[in-house]
Amino acid sequence: MSVYVVQSGGAVIECHMEYVRGGEIVCTTSGTSPECLRKAVQKVSSPEFVKVDEAAAKFYISTALFERGRTPGEVIKELAVLLRLC
């Protein structure tokens, strides 16, 4: 497993990139509000593939996302840009 860290402005996303069929990639955030995280996730993916735990400042990316032709890395990069804009 590798750790993927992205910093964009004051926002930091750290994800534990463990690709397991039917599993989830767990990401934590800092430097952004829970509301900003929730809104950014709504813009980049459906709740079917990305779930937010606002209280813990975490989000979970389903590996089923690959079936839609997208990668978790793409979603994380898009989120980083949107979190910077909050």
What pTM was computed for the model? 0.87
Nearest-10 Cα torsion for 83, 86, 64, 6: 0
What is the C-alpha to C-alpha distance for residues 60 and 80, in angstroms, rounded to an integer?
15
Over its length of 86 residues, how does the chain's per-residue pLDDT go in tens digits? 799 999 999 999 999 998 777 889 999 999 999 999 999 999 998 888 999 998 899 999 998 988 889 999 999 999 999 999 98
Task: For residue 77, give the amino acid letter.
Answer: K
List domains and CATH numbers for the chain.
Answer: 2-85 (3.90.1150)
What are 79's two structure tokens?
A: 């989120």
